[in-house]
Amino acid sequence: MGVIHRYKGDFDWEGVAQESYPPERNMKGVTVRRLIGPAEAAPNYSLRYFEVEAGGWSCLEQHAHDHGVMVMRGQGSVQLGDEHFKIAFGDVIYIPGDQLHQLRNTGDEPFGFLCVIPALE
């Protein structure tokens, strides 16, 4: 059976908790809302909404799986391998498997993005 998480405004959805990451993950000011994934019994992919506070960043990491990212608010930068790119609302980023990557908030407001990955979590 399908699931609907109604949008409540301010990048919040009904039935979806905001989660923080533990300090050992080497992130600063990152929260996640898991919009589609195991809780919805989605067998093929997960859709998550991340938000990064001003001055914050995600982990510098690489994985075997690829990512699809769409910037929904604010501005930031993405590291892809050894290169850094400015990104802002509406930009879409493909991160192939095994590529080193990191997202950073370079603005004064929250930096939010949707991220799609294979169903791994």
pLDDT digits (tens, 9 = 90+) for 20-75: 987 778 899 999 999 999 999 999 999 999 999 999 999 999 999 999 999 999 99
| Active site members | 115
pTM above 0.85, yes or no: yes
Contacts of 16 (CB under 8 A, 6+ apart): 5, 33, 34, 35
55 token code pair: 């001055």
Residue 119: CB atoms within 10 Å: 14
Alpha-helical (H) ranges within the chain are none
Which residue ranges form the domains of the chain, and what is each CATH number?
28-113 (2.60.120.10)
Which pLDDT belongs to residue 112?
A: 98
Residue 107 has a CB neighbour count (10 Å cut-off) of 15
Q: Are 73 and 95 in contact (CB under 8 A)?
A: no
Average pLDDT of the chain is 95
pLDDT, average across residues 5-28:
92
